[in-house]
Amino acid sequence: MAAQAPAATQARARPRAGREPWLDWMVLPTLVVMAVVVGYPIVYTILLSVEDYNLLDFSPANFIGADNYTKLFSDPIFWQSLRNTAVYTFGSVGISALLGLALALLMENLGGARFRAIRALLLTPWAVPFVVVAFLFRYMYLQNGGVINALLLSSGLASAPVPWLNSASLALPAVMVANIWAMAPFFFLLLSAALSAIPNEVIESARVDRAGTWGMIWHIKLPFLRNPLLISSLLMVISNFNDFAKIWAMTQGGPGYSTSTLVVYVYRLAFENFEFGYASAIGVIWLMMLMVFAWFYMRALRMERR
Amino acid sequence: MFRFDKRRLRFAAAISAATLAVGMVGTADAQDKVTITFANWASAEGTTRSSIEKVIANFEAANPGIDVVSESISFSEIARQLVLRARSGNPPDVAQLAGNDTVLVGSTGSLEPLDGYISKELAANLKPGADAGLRNKDGALFAFPWNQSPAGFWYNKDIMQKAGLDPNKPPRTIEELNAALAAVKSSQPGVIPLGMDTTNRAFALSSNWPWMQAFGALPVGEGATGAESAEMKAYLTWMRASAQAGYIDPGRKIGEFRPLAAQGNVAFHWDQVLLKGVMQGANGMSNDDFYKTWGVTTLPTAGGKATTFEGGHQLVMFANSKHKEAAWKFIEYLATSPDAIANYTTSVNSSLPSIKTTGNAELDASLDTPVFKAFSEEIIPTLAPQPYGPEFAAAATAIMAGVQEAVTGSQPIDASAASIQQQLPK
């Protein structure tokens, strides 16, 4: 009798599980909100991307099919902006992740009040608002009166002021330095937490096996850090892909188009030239690229759970 | 326990009735009052905020039936916000605009034509050419000139003297300017020899347009010779040479030179008449000292002609306004009343009124200063309209990006000019 009871429960549970609806009604309010806040703008952007829609022209927009998309392929500014976006995003994230990792490994075993203060200091740039970071670096980079040039000139390292933000070849790396300064603490924080989560038994057994510092980092710690590093990097790639404030405040995409990223180009097209149709076409391409990154991110999250 | 006795009830009823009556009177008053909205950047900027608020308060005191709600929007944002608001059907009643933004917003067709509101007396009192570029293709006036603020070529006499130059002989040609810039650079390395805006925005193109014309270049607009003309290349070559020699400081907005100029760290500066007010606000210099230190004249030229651009502000009324008469009253007050001219236009905004006489002899006499006279007699006659409109905004991005490439890059000037030409609206 007692053995029959759980079997009966299972028999009752199975059909209920089979009847489980694919859509839970409790999720509906969230879906409605998402449809309004996310779905509608996306659908409207796709619709705008196939129209010749200029905000200054109050007459109805014309349907032009894929013209905006074909125009995009022959637009050198679009390609330059895409290239700049890739360099800015992957360059900043890659270097920040390495810096964050190095700092986390260096600070890992350092305790005491002094090192706690240094740790807090290292995290400060992450707390500074992006626009403040941008203006801070903009003024430090100034060709005339900037502190960096003043130091370089007074120490004799440069004979003339370096045009950090006024040189087509230096501007993008200079903006990236500001971005890396602000982003590296994020990786430091995250990787420090991941390092402290490595089980002590693993570290102890590696020590018993006489693993050296590099061996310990390479064979023990880095494998544990792989997933947090991947997830945080993907998150930062998505965030940097959309970074507008720093670039706009520092260079407005210039000089020329040397620091113009997709977000800056779309802003100029939409809100300076009011070409919403063409700007939307770029927005759609941009969205598709972000969705690829988002897919990788979701996959990485699933891997982490397993 | 609280008890409702008759006396208390009577007292409460009397109080309620009185309150109701006062409320009704208040409501009736509010119904009689008209509220207009005024989108502007004057109240968004520290130097002009208190003055414009004072002028608005004075207007409200003089017109008890009108309330003005001032909406602060930054200069660089106002056109964008007004276009979006006009598009979505909720524009303000009145707005402050300038330069290409005025024509841009005018091109949407959402502005009220103003000819019908202007009296004969006011039309006769407007300065000649004050409405240039403010009429649409049908000849209707879509914006009223609030004030005039053209750009002039400012020169610091002290710096010129230290550089061994004659402080009373500002350069008249680009050749003379080059020699003066070299003298300043070698004698005072900490001084920026020439302040000019090289950012990538429509205002920067407006500001650089007269420099292009000084070389005879006309990249867009009627009779344009394009970006690949010999004149345009001469302008780009001169800009590059100036940057490489350290004469100009690329990437700065015009406003970023002003505090430096106020500190005596800019020798020559291409800026509007308002520079005087901004500099005096920053360094507290007296009028006498200012006139001793700074002079202003027309732009040096190289084969082309000396021109300038109108950086003054305009007032527009939106066709959607439900209180057009009140809106016009406010526009007229801001542009022509002695109160607004004395407390805002000629003081903190340091610009010229768009009318010939203010009707106030003392105020008219106060305009007789060396700076205002130089602008009125020497510089304003060189005002040249620019091909403002939606295409100018698109061209601005292309041209100024090309100028930046030429100034900061190393590719041949021909390539920079070709790049501009390729990006210009077809």
**Annotated domain spans of chain A:** 81-305
Exposed, middle or buried, A7 (CB in 10 Å: 0-12/13-18/19+)?
A: exposed
Q: Tell how strand B34-40 and strand B94-98 pair up.
A: parallel
- Of residues B348 and B83, which shows the higher confidence score? B83
Do residues A86 and A241 lie in contact, with contact meaning Cβ atoms separated by under 8 Å? no
Q: Confirm whether B17 is domain-assigned.
A: no
Is a pLDDT exceeding 90 seen at residue A2? no
Q: Judging by DSSP bridges, how do beta strands B66-72 and B266-272 pair with one another?
A: unpaired
pLDDT of residue B4: 52
What is the chain A residue with the closest CA to B391?
A273
Does ipTM top 0.95? no
- Kindly state whether residues B45 and B108 are assigned to the same domain: yes
Structural contact between residues B375 and B352, judged by C-beta atoms closer than 8 angstroms: yes
Q: What does the DSSP 8-state code read for residue B388?
A: -
> Looking at the complex, does the CB of residue B250 fall below 8 Å from at least one CB of chain A?
yes
Q: Give CA–CA dist B108/A62, Å, rounded.
A: 17
Least CA distance to B401: which residue of chain A?
A: A256
Cα B309-B183-B402 angle, rounded to 5 deg? 45
Closest Cα to residue B181, out of B298, B300, B293, B262? B300
* One domain, residues B192 and B239: yes
pLDDT class of B106 with cuts at 50, 70, 90? very high
Are A272 and B201 inside 8 Å of each other by CB? yes
Most confident of A21-35, A109-123, B68-82: B68-82
Average pLDDT, chain B: 90
Please check whether residue B2 lies inside any domain of the structure: no
Contacts of residue A158, defined as CB under 8 A and 6 or more positions apart, other chains included, come to A149, A152
Closest of A163, A74, A82, A262 to residue B404, by C-alpha: A163
- Beta-carbon contacts of residue B358 (< 8 Å; ≥ 6 apart): B336, B338, B341, B364
Tell me which residue of B93, B415, B150, B117 sits closest to B307, measured CA to CA: B150
- Domain boundary (B295, B329, B350) is at B350
**Whole-angstrom Cα distance, residue A205 to residue A103?**
24
Lowest mean pLDDT among A208-212, B26-30, B204-208: B26-30
Q: Does B420 touch chain A (CB under 8 A)?
A: no
Looking at per-residue pLDDT, the higher value among A26 and B313 belongs to: B313
CA atoms of A197 and A221, how far apart (whole Å):
10
The amino acid present at A56, given as its one-letter code, is L
Helix (H) or strand (E) holding B418: helix B413-423
For residues B297 and B414, state if they share a domain. yes
Whether B308 shows a pLDDT value over 50: the answer reads: yes
Residues B235 and B254 in one domain: yes
The domain of B135 spans 34-142+313-350
Digit-coded pLDDT (tens) for A223-245? 899 888 988 998 899 999 989 99
What is the identity of the amino acid at B183? Answer: A
pLDDT of residue A286: 92
Q: Out of A170-179, A277-286, B28-37, B148-157, which region has the weakest mean confidence (pLDDT)?
A: B28-37
What are the chain A neighbours of B404 within 8 Å (beta carbons)? 254-256
Could you report the per-residue pLDDT of A152-163, keeping only the tens digit for each?
999 999 888 888
Instruction: Check if the beta carbon of residue A217 is closer than 8 Å to that of residue A131.
Output: no
Query: For the segment B226-236, what is each residue's pLDDT rounded down to a tens digit?
Result: 999 999 999 99
- Nearest CB among B108, B243, B393 relative to A273 is that of B393
Question: In this structure, are B84 and B227 located in the same domain?
Answer: no
- pLDDT-derived band at A1, boundaries 50, 70, 90: very low
Contact list in A for residue B407 (CB cut-off 8 A) is: 166, 255
Same domain, B409 and B299: yes
Residues 6 or more apart whose CB falls under 8 angstroms from that of B181 comprise B193, B194, B242, B245, B247, B267, B268
**Lowest-pLDDT choice from B14-28, B121-135, B250-264, B385-399:** B14-28
Buried b (16+ CB within 10 A) or exposed e, A106-129: ebeeeeeeeeeeebeebbebbeee
Q: What is the structure's pLDDT at A249? A: 93
Beta bridge partners of B352: B148
**B394 pLDDT band (50/70/90 cuts)?**
confident
The domain over range A81-305 is classified in CATH as 1.20.190.20: no
Instruction: Determine the residue type at A229.
Output: L
In this structure, are residues B264 and B159 in contact, taking their beta carbons and an 8 Å threshold? yes
The answer to the question of residue B168 being in a domain is: yes
Q: pLDDT value at position B90?
A: 93
Q: CB B422 to CB A56 under 8 A?
A: no
A268: closest chain B residue by CA? B397
CB contact under 8 A, A256 and B87: no
Quote the pLDDT of residue B187. Answer: 97
Which one of B108, B396, B419 has the shortest CB-CB distance to A58? Answer: B108
d(CA B380, CA B308): 8
Residue B345's SS3 state is helix
Whether A255 sits inside 8 A of B104 (CB atoms) is no
pLDDT band for position A79 (cuts 50, 70, 90) = very high
Amino acid A305: pLDDT: 66
In 3D space, the residue among A230, A104, A107, A245 whose CA is nearest the CA of residue A178 turns out to be A245
Task: For B110, name the nearest residue in chain A, comparing CA atoms only.
Answer: A58
CA A236 to chain centre: 3
Whether residue B241 is found in the same domain as residue B324? no
Residues of chain A contacting B, Cβ within 8 Å: 54-56, 58, 76-77, 143-145, 160-161, 163, 165-169, 171, 251-258, 268, 271-275
Is 80 exceeded by the pLDDT of residue B192? yes
Asked whether residue B363 is assigned to any structural domain, the reply reads no
Q: How far apart are CA B409 and CA A168, in angstroms?
A: 6
In this structure, the answer to whether residues B69 and B159 fall within a common structural domain is no
Q: Decide if pLDDT at A10 tops 80.
A: no
Cis check: omega of the bond before A255, within 30 degrees of 0: yes
Q: Do A272 and B202 touch (CB under 8 A)?
A: yes
Residue among A145, A168, A275 whose CB faces B405 most closely: A168
For chain A, how long is the longest CA-to-CA vector? 95
Give Cα A197 to chain centroid, integer Å: 24
Residue B147: per-residue pLDDT:
94
d(CA B12, CA B6) in angstroms, rounded, equals 10
Q: Which contiguous run of DSSP H or E holds residue A278?
A: helix A276-305
Residue of chain B with shortest Cα separation from A143: B249
Distance CA B18, CA B12 (A): 10
Q: Has residue A194 got a pLDDT over 50? A: yes
In chain B, DSSP finds a helix count (H) and a strand count (E) of: 18, 11
Residue B262 lies in a domain: yes
pLDDT at A55: 86
A189 in Cβ contact with A101 (< 8 Å) = no
Q: Residue B204 maps to which CATH number?
A: 3.40.190.10
pLDDT at A3: 46
A204: pLDDT strictly greater than 70: yes
Q: End of a domain among B350, B373, B403?
A: B350
For the beta carbon of residue A195, count every other beta carbon within 10 angstroms. Answer: 18
Structure-token pair, residue B292? 């001793």
Look up tokens 């544990």; give the residue.
A224
φ, ψ (nearest 5 deg) of residue A163 = -80, 70
CB contact under 8 A, A255 and B407: yes
B399 with B304, same domain: the answer is yes
Residue B156 lies in a domain: yes
Among A204-208, B21-25, B139-143, B274-278, which is the least confidently predicted range?
Answer: B21-25
Q: CA-CA distance, A162 to A144, in Å (whole number)?
A: 9
Stretch among B67-71, B169-173, B350-354 having the lowest mean pLDDT: B350-354
pLDDT band at B63 (very low <50, low <70, confident <90, very high): very high
> Are the beta carbons of B397 and A55 separated by less than 8 Å?
no
For residue A232, give both structure tokens: 């945080």
> Is B268 inside a domain boundary?
yes
**Residue that is written with structure tokens 């995409």 in the block:** A253
Strand A62-63 and strand B34-40: pairing? Answer: unpaired
The pLDDT assigned to A15 comes to 55
Q: Identify the band that residue B331 occupies on the pLDDT scale cut at 50, 70 and 90.
A: very high
Residues B239 and B100 in one domain: no
Burial B203-226 (b: 16+ CB within 10 A, else e): bbbbbbbbbbbbbbbbbbeeeeee
Minimum Cα–Cα distance from A256: chain B residue: B401
Lowest mean pLDDT, pick from A110-124, A171-185, B163-177, B294-308 = A110-124
In a domain, B14, yes or no: no
Number of domains chain B is built from: 2
Q: Provide the strand spans (E) within B139-203.
A: 144-145, 147-148, 151-156, 192-195
Spatial contact of A194 and A228, defined as CB atoms under 8 Å apart: yes
What does the pLDDT read at residue B410? 84
Q: Which two tokens stand for residue B175?
A: 């050749």
Token code pair at residue B345: 């236009």
Is residue B177 domain-shared with residue B305, that is, in the same domain?
Answer: yes
Q: What is the pLDDT of residue B11?
A: 67
User: Could you give phi then psi for residue B409, rounded to 5 degrees?
Assistant: -95, -175
Residue A137: list chain B partners with CB under 8 A: none
Cα dihedral B208, B209, B213, B217 sign: positive
- Answer yes or no: is pLDDT of A17 > 80: no
CB contact under 8 A, A143 and B250: yes
